[in-house]
């Protein structure tokens, strides 16, 4: 089965995801492809997600998202196989329940089946997939979805006709906005209120995950070692910051969020409130904002760096450039520093596991 995976967003500056997942697929002997889908407008995003859902059950697996939208998708007057989708719920059973007709993977293993045998059995039980059928058989030819024809539709540089998708990933600044477009959420995504990985379940059901939680958790513990009796300042309050908060709560590390916007919670501060004393009292400093990210490497967090010393651990989720101005200034003052490259790799590993275990 040839599945397509990819990264959605605008603008997309680098090829990390393409190279990483393509290499993994090749090493596993899988004839899957991965590409960037550059969607410049909200209208293109709507058409993209709507088209994916309208395809029904082409055995979708997963994609990486960088998408700016939080409005719901309405299917109006579209038909697949003669069935009208207007008003039809896309929610349903879990992937394992639908593929294995109520039998858990554990039960399948007890019966001696391998994971590959389970997948093949699931494919047989659900019949021939959309990518193996013509447009005429699916009754999609000529039907439009919110003004976007599926016939010959090209979005983000990719033609949707006959495509079978496997999964998506999401990056800033759209991790929160895409949340309401999901049919199901993992616990981490629901608690964080942010999604960075989309898993496609049968019947067009989209499940949102937050693999940033996994990536940040592992990389932070490796960075701190056993020295976790610290208080933290988190710079930023977007989707990435929510994953950071989730992990710090799990590790029982107290923190304050530092933001430019109006204070909404007791543990929030404005940059204007930062003092040397506050910086000295919080020895774990985490940049979860886009300040200093390529192509704006000259930008720097407006904080009193004089308060940073050898006892500080400074973590920047940004990995391009390798060291932001924040990390360079902290390093000058003896702080231990770390960028977001390990987190990037770890969250990608988790996304790959989610898609392949589906």
Per-residue pLDDT tens over the stretch 116-128: 344 334 333 333 3
* Cα gap 347→358, rounded to integer Å: 17
Q: What is the mean pLDDT of residues 135-160?
A: 37
Q: Identical fold at 4-210 and 213-344?
A: yes
Does the annotation mark 332 as catalytic? no
* Residue 135 buriedness (CB in 10 A; 0-12 / 13-18 / 19+): middle
* Cα gap 107→104, rounded to integer Å: 5
CATH fit for domain 213-344, picks 3.40.50.1370, 3.10.20.30, 3.40.50.720, 1.10.10.10? 3.40.50.720
Position 259 scores a pLDDT of 93
Q: CATH number of the domain at 4-210, please?
A: 3.40.50.10860
Per-residue pLDDT tens over the stretch 24-81: 999 999 999 998 888 777 777 777 777 877 765 444 445 454 433 333 333 333 332 2
The residue from 4, 53, 172, 175 that is catalytic is: 175
Q: Where are the domains of the chain?
A: 4-210, 213-344
Say if residues 261 and 283 touch (Cβ distance below 8 Å): no
Position 147 scores a pLDDT of 28
Per-residue pLDDT tens over the stretch 266-311: 899 999 999 999 999 999 999 999 999 988 999 999 999 999 999 9
Both tokens of 84, joined, read 């009208």
């Amino acid at each position: 089965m040839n599945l397509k995976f990819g990264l959605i967003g605008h603008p997309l500056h680098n090829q990390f995801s393409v190279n990483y997942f393509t290499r993994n697929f090749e090493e596993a002997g899988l004839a899957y492809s991965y590409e960037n889908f550059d969607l410049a407008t909200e209208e293109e995003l709507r058409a993209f997600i709507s088209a994916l859902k309208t395809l029904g059950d082409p055995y979708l697996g997963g994609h990486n998202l960088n998408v700016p939208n939080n409005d719901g998708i309405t299917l109006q007057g579209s038909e697949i196989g003669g069935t009208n989708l207007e008003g039809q719920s896309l929610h349903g059973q879990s992937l394992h329940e639908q593929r294995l007709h109520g039998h858990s993977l554990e039960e399948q293993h007890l019966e001696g089946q391998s994971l590959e045998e389970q997948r093949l059995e699931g494919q047989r039980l659900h019949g021939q997939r959309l990518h193996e059928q013509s447009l005429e058989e699916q009754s999609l030819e000529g039907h439009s979805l919110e003004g976007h024809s599926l016939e010959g539709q090209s979005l983000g540089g990719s033609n949707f006709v006959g495509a079978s998708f496997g999964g998506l990933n999401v990056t800033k600044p759209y991790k929160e906005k895409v949340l309401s477009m999901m049919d199901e959420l993992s616990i981490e995504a629901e608690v964080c209120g942010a999604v960075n990985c989309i898993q496609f379940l049968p019947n067009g059901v989209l499940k949102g995950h937050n693999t940033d939680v996994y990536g940040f958790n592992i990389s932070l513990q490796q960075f701190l070692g056993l020295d976790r009796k610290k208080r933290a300042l988190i710079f930023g309050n977007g989707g990435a910051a929510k994953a950071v908060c989730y992990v710090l709560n799990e590790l029982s590390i107290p923190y304050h969020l530092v933001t430019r916007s109006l204070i909404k919670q007791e543990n929030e501060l404005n940059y204007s409130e930062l003092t040397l004393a506050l910086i000295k009292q919080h020895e774990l400093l985490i940049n979860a904002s886009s300040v200093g990210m390529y192509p704006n490497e000259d930008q720097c967090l407006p904080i009193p760096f004089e308060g940073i010393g050898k006892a500080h651990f400074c973590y920047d989720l940004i990995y391009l450039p390798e060291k932001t101005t924040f990390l360079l200034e902290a390093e000058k003052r003896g702080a231990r520093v770390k960028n977001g490259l390990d987190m990037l790799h770890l969250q990608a590993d988790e996304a790959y596991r989610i898609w392949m275990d589906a």
